[in-house]
Structure 1
Amino acid sequence: MQRISQGYAAALAATVIWSGNFVVARAVADMIPPWQCNFWRWLVALLALLPFAWKHLAADWPQIRAHARYLTVQAILGVTLMNTLIYKAGQTTESLNMALLVPTAPVVILLLSRILYGEAISPRRLLGVCLVVAGVVILVSRGDWERLAALRLNSGDFWALGGALCFGLYSLFMRRRPAGISAFGFNAALFALGLLCALPFTLAEAVLLPLPQATTPVVVSVLYTGIGCSFLSFWLWTLAIDRIGPVRAGIVYYSLPVFAAAASVVILGEAIVRAQIVGGALVIGGILAATLHAPGRRGRA
């Protein structure tokens, strides 16, 4: 029971920290290009992680070499591509579109878990997902259905869907994480491999586009996303999937729009409307319905 509680707590903590990434993205969208933003973010994360991971790397190295192909795939999905695609999406798509598309990652996890691993989608879990989806729609639209009807897909929406797909696949494949690699060693390997894969594209972007200025908003944003959204949150997410699996962790991830809305109120001074309160309540209720065990049915979801 303690192991499960730790898993849910870690997934929730990671989601809370990730929610601030949307506020950061809005603040620096025109200040730093996507590949460079992503690269500096992960470089900061790797530098923050190394003092903790260094003593584990020697013991983990044989397993890291043995599973280099798996680690490279995970690094490309979780480090090289995921946030780069989301930052790219933010240049051309509306914030409402982004808020609707990014939380689709748990749906990817749920469906692929069924297809690839035969994991059952129970009525309770399906009901919870439906409640969460309804809550997310109400939350981000603020109950204004005309806003939803007026949405039009553009190139940025497809970039956002690509980022959500990368996160879903990354989380799903985390169940194959080699048991012989520590969490610190695993994340250090992923961060380094992801940076290596991103380096050619980052250099090309730096040549083709103006270099970003090291202004206070840019530096603070890179530090927040690097230390908080990357170093700390990815360690928490690894812990969560180890404890409760990718599907349940993914359902907790649905609460991200709730915390993103709260961050917008606190940091940007945006007002909360009644529809957002209703949407947030549906999201929380759906997560509880999908993840908590019914009395007398422990072990089933």
Structure 2
Amino acid sequence: MSTLPTGTMRDWRTPIELTLLGAIWGCSFLFMRVAVPSFGPYALVEVRLVLGALVLLPFLWVARAQFPARRWLWLAPIGLVNSAVPFLLFAWAAARAPAAIGAICNAMTVLFAALIAFLFFGEKIGLRRAGALLVGFAGVVVLATAKLTGFSIGTAVLAGALASLLYGLGVNLVKRHMTGLPSAAAAAATLGCASLWMLPLALVHWPTAPVPVNAWACAVALGVVCTGLAFLMFYRLIGRIGPARASTVTYLVPLFGAAFAWFFLDEPLTLQMLVAGALILGSVAVSQKAA
């Protein structure tokens, strides 16, 4: 039996879990990059949403009494804004640019969440945080103007930035309309709604050629591990250390995403991409500190 105090055990566990979660979400951009040429973005996102919802479905079943019909009036649009469309944009970008591009853009979520809260929900932003937003957007401009042979970086960056903007909107909607709901159950509900939104497009664009085994493996890992299980880990972290500390995983996702793409796919990692990543992550760090 361990003699370590509970607080000490948690102190050791938290950085390990944050690192593991950052690696898992970093892998998601690698998996999209491998699977999207065979599936196409619509079918791949549908597989991801369905599998992620199935992993979390038991939590929704247990808490079903807390989800009356009126709740679904918000859960359905939140699923569209916070899952279906961002997943689709990142998958579309993965077909056109290195995995690191999407991973770097994903870090903008924190900045967009602060901007939307200021513009539409009356939250204060402060000069320091406003400056951080400008630096972060400068990083996006640097990234969008990067030159890589054979890749459409600009359009992929715009898609990734728009996805992060929707994530930022989703964060604010969740905060205001899903407070008090069990997190894992709410995630199952929004993922399930998102899968229904995506189903018609997925059926129309379902691949006609056989999908290779490696693409299926990446799609399953994307849904089960990077969506369902990762959400469970993240919500458990939020419950234990709070949302502010849990959100520091934002800093790790681009690092793992870029490293995995470089190591496993031999994708380029240019100086311009590194500068853009440093600007965006630095602005996120300042924004978090200012908050």
Q: TM-score range by the shorter chain?
A: 0.7 to 0.9
8 Å Cα contact 1:251-1:290 kept in structure 2:
no
Q: Give the counterpart letter for 1:186 in structure 2.
A: A
Shift of 1:114: 0.9
Distance in 2 (alpha carbons) for counterparts of 1:231 and 1:80: 14
Residue 34 of structure 1 aligns with an amino acid whose one-letter code is P
1:117 aligns with: 121
Q: Counterpart in 2 of 1:295?
A: none
Query: Do the aligned partners of 1:132 and 1:287 also contact (CA within 8 Å) in 2?
Result: yes
Determine the C-alpha separation between the residues in 1 that align with 2:107 and 2:281: 14
Say yes or no: does 1:74 pair with 2:78.
Answer: yes
Once the two structures are superposed, residues 35-80 of structure 1 have per-residue CA deviations (whole angstroms, 9 ceiling, x without a partner) of 11011112222222234x1xx5244334342311111111112232
Q: Residue type matched to 1:267 in 2?
A: F
How far is the alpha carbon of 1:286 from its aligned partner?
4.8
Once structures 1 and 2 are overlaid, which stretch shifts more, 96-105 or 164-173? 96-105
Instruction: Give the count of matched residue pairs.
Output: 277
Q: Distance in 1 between the 2:288 and 2:175 partners? A: 18
Question: How far off is 1:104 after superposition?
Answer: 3.5
Kept in 1, the 8 Å contact 2:49–2:195? The answer is: yes
Letter in 1 for 2:263: V
5+ residue gaps, structure 2, are 1-6
1:42 to 2:49 alignment = yes
- Say what the alpha-carbon RMSD is for the aligned residues: 4.1
**Residue matched to 2:202:** 202
- Corresponding residue of 1:244: 243
What secondary structure is seen at the aligned counterpart in 2 of 1:119? coil
How far 1:240 moved relative to its partner? 6.3
CA shift for structure 1 position 161: 4.0
Give, in whole Å, the separation in 2 of the partners of 1:272 and 1:146. Answer: 11
Change (3 A) 1:177 1:46: same
Q: Distance in 1 between matches of 2:174 and 2:203?
A: 29
Structure 2 residue 94 is matched with structure 1 residue 90:
yes
Task: Name the counterpart of 2:61.
Answer: 57
1:290 to 1:158, Cα distance in 2 relative to 1, 3 A: closer
Q: Retained in 1: the 8 A contact 2:136–2:280?
A: yes
Q: Specify the code of the residue in structure 1 equivalent to 2:191.
A: F
Q: Is the Cα–Cα contact under 8 Å of residues 184 and 235 in structure 2 kept in the other structure?
A: no
Determine if contact 1:14/1:234 at 8 Å carries over to the other structure: no
Provide the residue aligned with 2:36 in structure 1. Answer: 29
Q: Kindly indicate whether the alpha-carbon contact (under 8 Å) linking 1:36 and 1:205 is maintained by their aligned counterparts in 2.
A: yes
Determine if the alignment matches structure 1 residue 147 to structure 2 residue 147.
yes
* 1:185-264 matched pairs, under 5 angstroms: 185-206=185-206, 210-238=207-235, 243-244=242-243, 253=250, 255-264=252-261
Deviations 1:11-32 (A, max 9, x none): 7754442222222222233211
Residue 122 to residue 8, structure 1, CA distance change in 2 (3 Å): farther
1:100–1:137 CA contact under 8 A, matched in 2: no
Question: Do the aligned partners of 2:21 and 2:249 also contact (CA within 8 Å) in 1?
Answer: no
| Residues 217-247 of structure 1, C-alpha deviations (whole Å, 9 max, x = no match) | 11211122112221123344556677336xx
Deviation, 1:165, is 2.6
TM-score normalised by length of structure 1? 0.71
- The AA in structure 2 aligned to 1:170 is G
Identify the residue that residue 173 of structure 2 maps to in structure 1: 173
Taking a change above 3 Å as real, the CA distance of residues 189 and 155 of structure 1, as seen in their structure-2 partners, is same
Change (3 A) 1:59 1:211: same
Cα offset, 1:103, TM superposition: 3.9
Question: TM-score w.r.t. structure 2 length?
Answer: 0.73
Counterpart residue identity of residue 203, structure 2: L
